[in-house]
Amino acid sequence: MTSQEEITVPEVPGPTARVLTYTNLGESARSVLAPYAEIITGPVEDTAGWYAEAATYDGMIINGQVFITGEVMDRIGPRLKVIGRTGIGVERINLAEATERGIMVVNTPDGPTESTAEHAIALMLALTKGVVFSDRITHSGQGFSPLGTLPRGLEAAGAVLGLVGLGRIGTRVAFIARALGMRVIAYDPFVSAERASELNVELAPDLATVLGEAQVVSIHCPAIPETFHLINRITLNLMRPGTLLVNVSRGTLVDEGALLEALDSGHLAGAALDVYDPEPPDPANPLLTHPKTICTSHIGSYTEAGVLRMQVMACQEVAAALQGKRPPNLVNREVWGKQRQGFTGR
């Protein structure tokens, strides 16, 4: 029988990669990535010391507040192979520069869907019921305002919700709105009539139709050049008087100056915003203190479930990239086949 001294246990090598995360990961997220990488938690900083440390990173998981330009990629150096984004938007990552350098960019498009859709519905109901406006009056200590001096609320049941965009989040908003008894119409050039019919959504032929019929307009589009200031003076004037506007997508979709004019003139009855251009918004932005607006601080997906879901998905994407597998949510798809390979060691 072999003695205890003769028994040898093979050494299990530790992770050969290093990944920076901007936040402490939940245990279920860490368990996905830990077998493949040492996890370092900390901010992205524009300092020589940070770049020296960043030169040892194989991957990064960042949020939507961080800009990653080609210059940043070069200063980090040739070891960086993958940039993960917890969320959907990657407009602050230069995709062309990442592709040129062989760096994969991944995101978590399914992660924020439920929480963001619920936030859109919450903002819509807060607008239609005058929740925040009445709350402000009550908190002021001035007592109840005479009912005749307040705008009357809008019942969701039977009201018309117009969706600009019918992707993941827009689809979920439509489902919840239908459960509330709303009639839902939508404009999305990439959605078929058959798909809209499955969702019990009326597919409009153009944006003007949606804006002209809806009592509440909710925006669910990506931030791309084609959607910049999609809601502007012209499109705002297409809306019926008294329309309510909700934006939980991206601030660049709305011309804030034109929105302010529409609110001041009374053409729009109210607007609820979770996103701005720029972010964070200028404290002097008049929309933040306007009596007809509800303003939240880009918290649409910021729930316990939503945050953890995005963390897990980001770790899955980055882990796949570190193993040499094609990540399911590779944003810059053209990089595949010429992505940076292998580990350079610690």
Q: How many CB atoms lie within 10 A of CB 116?
A: 26
Mean pLDDT of the chain: 93
pTM of the model: 0.88
The identity of residue 38, as a single letter, is E
Alpha helices in the chain, H assignment, sequence order:
27-33, 48-54, 70-76, 95-100, 113-128, 131-139, 168-179, 193-198, 207-213, 233-238, 256-265, 304-322
CA pair distance 161, 211, nearest whole angstrom: 10
Asked if residues 236 and 264 have their Cβ atoms less than 8 Å apart, the reply is no
Percent of the chain having pLDDT more than 70?
A: 94
113-295: CATH topology: Rossmann fold (3.40.50)
Take residue 113 and report the two structure tokens written for it: 């869907």
User: What is the pLDDT, as a whole number, of residue 140?
Assistant: 87
Asked if residues 310 and 111 have their Cβ atoms less than 8 Å apart, the reply is yes
Take residue 20 and report the two structure tokens written for it: 């920076």
Buried b (16+ CB within 10 A) or exposed e, 142-176: eeeeeeeeeeeebebeebbbbbbbbbbbbbbbbeb
User: What is the pLDDT, as a whole number, of residue 151?
Assistant: 80
**pLDDT 10s digits, 200-244:** 999 999 999 999 999 999 999 999 999 999 999 999 999 999 999
What is the pLDDT averaged over residues 188-210?
97
Take residue 332 and report the two structure tokens written for it: 């810059």
Take residue 289 and report the two structure tokens written for it: 């203190």
pLDDT of 308 over the 60 cut: yes
User: What is the pLDDT, as a whole number, of residue 181?
Assistant: 98
Name the residues annotated as catalytic.
250, 279, 298
CA pair distance 222, 254, nearest whole angstrom: 12
In Å, how far are 6, 7, 8, 264, 336 from 2, measured between CA atoms?
Answer: 6, 7, 11, 87, 51
What is the pLDDT averaged over residues 31-54?
96
Take residue 93 and report the two structure tokens written for it: 């990552």
CATH superfamily assigned to domain 13-111+305-335: NAD(P)-binding Rossmann-like Domain (3.40.50.720)
Domains 13-111+305-335 and 113-295 share a fold: yes
3 by DSSP, 3-state: which? coil
What is the pLDDT averaged over residues 159-174?
98
User: What is the pLDDT, as a whole number, of residue 10?
Assistant: 45
Radius of gyration for the chain, computed over Cα atoms and rounded to the nearest angstrom: 24
Asked if residues 238 and 211 have their Cβ atoms less than 8 Å apart, the reply is yes
The domains of the chain are located at 13-111+305-335, 113-295
CA pair distance 204, 160, nearest whole angstrom: 13
What is the pLDDT averaged over residues 123-143?
91
